[in-house]
Amino acid sequence: MTDTPARDYRGTVFLPQTPFPMKGDLPKREPGWLARWEKIGLWDRVRAQSAERQKFVLHDGPPYANGALHIGHALNKILKDVINRAAQMAGRDAEYIPGWDCHGLPIEWKVEEEYRNPKGKYKGGVDKDSVPVLEFRAECRAYAAQWLDVQREEFKRLGVAGDWTGRYATMDFASEASIAAEIGKFLMNGSLYRGLRPVMWSPVEKTALAEAEVEYHDHKSAILYTGFPIVKAAAPDLVGAEAVIWTTTPWTIPANRAMAYGAEIDYALLTVDGVADGIELIRPGQRFILAEALIGAFAKEVGLAAFSVSRVFKGAELEGAVAAHPLRGWDKAEGGYAFDVPLLAGDYVTTEAGTGLVHIAPAHGEEDFHLARAHGIGVPECVADDGTYTVQVPGFVGIHVFKAHEAVWAALTEMGHLAGRGFITHSYPHSWRSKKPIIYRATPQWFIAMDDANQIRAKSLQAIADTRFVPDQGRNRIGSMVAARPDWCISRQRAWGVPIAIFVDKRNGEPLRDQVVLDRIDAAFRAEGADAWYQPGAAARFLGNERNPDDFEQVMDIVDVWFESGSTHAFVLRPRGLPVPADLYLEGSDQHRGWFHSSLLESVGSNGYAPFKAILTHGFVLDETGRKMSKSLGNVTAPQEVTQLYGADILRLWVMNSDVADDLRIGKGILAQQAELYRRIRNTLRWLLGNLAEFDDAETLPLAEMPELERWVLHRLTELDARIRQAATDYDWNGVYPDIHAFCATDLSAFYFDIRKDSLYCDARDSLRRRASRTVLDALHRCLTAWLAPALPFTAEEAWLARFPSEDGSVHLQDFPVLPAEWRDEALAAKWETVRNIRRVVTGALEKARAAGTIGASLQAAPSLHLPAEALALLPAETWAELCITSGLTLSDAAAPADAFTMDGLDGIATVFATASGQKCDRCWRVLEEVGKSAAHPTLCRRCEAVVDQRDAA
Cα Rg for the chain, rounded, in angstroms? 38
- Using DSSP's 3-state secondary structure scheme, residue 243 falls into strand
% of the chain surpassing 70 pLDDT: 99
Better pLDDT: 532 or 299: 532
What confidence tier does 203 reach under pLDDT thresholds 50, 70, 90?
confident
**Rounded distance between C-alpha atoms, residue 49 and residue 200, angstroms:** 51
**Rounded distance between C-alpha atoms, residue 473 and residue 465, angstroms:** 12
Q: What is the mean pLDDT of the chain?
A: 92
pLDDT beyond 80 at 213: no
Range in 340-344, 385-389, 829-833 the model is least confident about: 385-389
In this structure, what are the phi and psi dihedrals at residue 659, rounded to the nearest 5 degrees?
A: -85, 95
**Rounded distance between C-alpha atoms, residue 829 and residue 305, angstroms:** 80
Whether 486 contacts 450, CB under 8 Å: yes
* Helical packing angle, 753-762 and 942-953, nearest 10°: 50
Whether 223 contacts 422, CB under 8 Å: yes
pLDDT beyond 80 at 524: yes
Per residue in 97-111, pLDDT (tens digit) is 999 999 988 898 888
Task: Tell me the three-class secondary structure of 829-864, residue by residue.
Answer: HHHHHHHHHHHHHHHHHHHHHHHCCCCCCHHHECCE
Average pLDDT over every residue of 336-358: 87
pLDDT beyond 70 at 123: no
* Alpha-helical regions (H) of 544-594: 561-566, 568
Per residue in 633-691, pLDDT (tens digit) is 889 999 999 999 999 999 999 999 999 999 999 999 999 999 999 999 999 999 999 99
What's residue 602's pLDDT?
97
**Rounded distance between C-alpha atoms, residue 780 and residue 799, angstroms:** 12
- What's the CA angle centered on 448, arms 495 and 540, to 5 degrees? 50
**What predicted TM-score, i.e. pTM, was given to this entire model?**
0.85
What's residue 1's pLDDT?
41
What's residue 293's pLDDT?
87
- What's the CA angle centered on 97, arms 95 and 101, to 5 degrees? 160
Average pLDDT over every residue of 211-219: 78
What's residue 434's pLDDT?
75
What confidence tier does 124 reach under pLDDT thresholds 50, 70, 90?
low
**Rounded distance between C-alpha atoms, residue 48 and residue 659, angstroms:** 34
What's residue 530's pLDDT?
98
Average pLDDT over every residue of 453-460: 96
What confidence tier does 350 reach under pLDDT thresholds 50, 70, 90?
confident
Average pLDDT over every residue of 469-483: 94
Q: Within its chain, how far is the Cα of 325 from the centroid? A: 49
- Using DSSP's 3-state secondary structure scheme, residue 221 falls into strand
Range in 76-90, 247-261, 724-738 the model is least confident about: 247-261
Better pLDDT: 122 or 940: 940
Average pLDDT over every residue of 190-206: 84
939: which residues sit within 8 A by CB, 6+ positions away? 6, 7, 9, 919, 921, 922, 923, 931, 932
What's residue 221's pLDDT?
83
What's residue 428's pLDDT?
79
- Using DSSP's 3-state secondary structure scheme, residue 520 falls into helix
Per residue in 580-598, pLDDT (tens digit) is 999 999 999 999 999 999 9
pLDDT beyond 70 at 273: yes
CA torsion sign for 574, 580, 584, 590 is positive
pLDDT beyond 80 at 129: no
Per residue in 31-75, pLDDT (tens digit) is 999 999 999 999 999 999 999 999 999 999 999 999 999 999 999
Going by their DSSP bridges, the two strands 93-94 and 55-56 should be labelled as parallel
Residue 572 CB burial class (10 angstroms; 0-12, 13-18, ≥19): buried
Per residue in 301-345, pLDDT (tens digit) is 888 888 999 899 999 999 899 999 999 888 888 778 888 999 998
pLDDT beyond 90 at 830: yes
What confidence tier does 280 reach under pLDDT thresholds 50, 70, 90?
confident
